[in-house]
Amino acid sequence: MPRSRLTAVEERTGRCVELINNEHDAPGRFDDQPASPLFSTLPPEIRDIIWGFATAPYEDETKKFAETAYYYRPGRTASLKTETALLLTCRRVWLEANAMPMLQAEHSYYYRREAPDRRDPKWTANLTVQNRANFGHLHLFVQMCNIENLTAEPGKLRKYFLFTPAIAGDFQPRVFHCTVRHTDWWYWENDDPIYLHESWVQAMLNSPDLRSTQVFKLELETLDYKTDQLEPIVERIKALVSEEKATHIVDGQAVTTKFVLSDRQDSYTWQGPTNIDGKIFTRYDGKDRLIYHVVTLTWKLTFPSLPRAFVPQLRRAPRIPKNKTPDSPNLTAFYFAAHLPHLYHATTDRQFLSKRKRLEHPDGTTWHISDVTKASWHHRWIMLLAMQRCAEELQSVTERQAALEHENRRGLFEEEIQKSLRRQYADQWVAEGSLLRFVE
């Protein structure tokens, strides 16, 4: 069904439409392929391995990067490509393997100096709900000056990748990988000593934006003759402790999460040309190649109160929504003090004080008229003006309530119509063997 027709169906029925993406939710809507040894002989676990190999990303030799480019490095010497022809063979293969490309793909984001195959927030915002849920490996290449800004406040990191309004848990890559390259350190052009403020690393470990992410990796790269400068930085980062905070709802209860540093520290070296970005740097005179030293630290998400939890699945549990500021004022405030504060504070003489208190704390609807007759003409005018204002406010509230009730009745009627239409479309899709369904 064309996207325009699906949009029309969604508008008429008040529900989003999606494709069923697994065989368990689609009984009778695909051929079991009993004659194929792939399905009749091999178990699902073996088939998953086959699907994984067939859809694994690889470097496209027809789209090589220049060796002098900022973004050239091991594993990123060319644009990454994923073959999806397997998914077109039959419906059962698609149902079993459709999540593999997104789960395995490495999506690279560059905060400036980007590669030709880079992703950007606009691309992320256009992902379907299914693809966003299957988002696998997010790799961020960012300069030191920019990462400090991205982690300055909660929500800012997520906002860089998604333009859409924030919903708790809507940003959930399986792996969040942050790389600081040799050319990303402060004043690398001057060959200054490298330094790093651990505050932004701590902010990422504590960020609610990453609490639906299973693995967080931090990759730090420098030249071989600066290894002694990198080692103390790594040790300080390893000493950081992730904050334990309530983030998810499991079985109706709030549960806490935190990142725990893996005991394993990965490191490797690689070589590149001295003319980075095609420029000549005199400080590299006499060197044939630059030798890079890379250290990778890995943190894994844990649920301290659920030590046996299956994190790959549990990380997708509903998130605790952020507190919202009320959109409307508190209607239980006392009208006299709220709407006439200048008159309220003007009537402070001892004789009128008791009468003013009775006005401030009425029983909700009754005004003490006897107080008006006992007051002086000035105080009488103030009280009458206040009562008039209260009457106007009460009338306005009554009108708004009536309009709201009318809107609610109309909404209930429209909801019944939409329910009827949804049943009709659902029955039609089942009869046609379609994989379409409504999102509940």
94: Cβ–Cβ under 8 A, 6 or more apart, which residues? 87, 88
Chain-centroid distance of CA 3 in Å reads 25
The per-residue pLDDT for 334 is 39
Question: What DSSP string runs through 293-341?
Answer: EEEEEEEEEE-TT-TT--HHHHTTSPBPPPP---SS--TTS-HHHHH-H
pLDDT beyond 60 at 349: no
The per-residue pLDDT for 112 is 85
Q: What is the pLDDT of residues 159-207, one digit of tens each?
A: 888 877 777 668 889 999 999 999 999 999 999 999 999 999 999 999 9
More confident residue, 279 or 381: 279
Alpha helices in 106-172 (DSSP H): 121-125, 129-133, 144-150, 156-161
The per-residue pLDDT for 326 is 38
Encoded tokens for 46: 């073996």
Q: How confident is the model over 332-336, as a mean pLDDT?
A: 38
Q: How confident is the model over 357-370, as a mean pLDDT?
A: 45
Residues in the chain: 440
Q: What is the distance between the alpha carbons of residues 274 and 277, in angstroms, rounded to a whole number?
A: 9
Q: How confident is the model over 103-132, as a mean pLDDT?
A: 90
Other CB atoms within 10 Å distance of the CB of residue 13: 20
More confident residue, 324 or 154: 154
Query: pTM, whole model, 2 decimals?
Result: 0.76
Q: Contact 63/115 with Cβ under 8 angstroms?
A: no
pLDDT beyond 50 at 270: yes
Confidence of residue 65 (pLDDT cuts 50, 70, 90): very high
pLDDT beyond 80 at 106: yes
Confidence of residue 91 (pLDDT cuts 50, 70, 90): very high
The per-residue pLDDT for 381 is 66
pLDDT beyond 60 at 353: no
How far lies 230's CA from each of 6, 31, 233, 273, in Å? 54, 57, 5, 21
Confidence of residue 66 (pLDDT cuts 50, 70, 90): very high
The per-residue pLDDT for 117 is 92
165: Cβ–Cβ under 8 A, 6 or more apart, which residues? none
Q: What is the pLDDT of the chain when averaged over all its residues?
A: 85
pLDDT beyond 90 at 54: yes
* DSSP 8-state secondary structure symbol assigned to residue 119: B
The per-residue pLDDT for 397 is 81
Q: Contact 299/259 with Cβ under 8 angstroms?
A: yes
pLDDT beyond 80 at 352: no
Lowest mean pLDDT, pick from 63-72, 129-138, 290-299: 129-138
The per-residue pLDDT for 321 is 82
Q: Which of 30, 72, 23 is nearest to 292 (CA)?
A: 72
Q: Which of 260, 242, 241, 250 is nearest to 299 (CA)?
A: 260
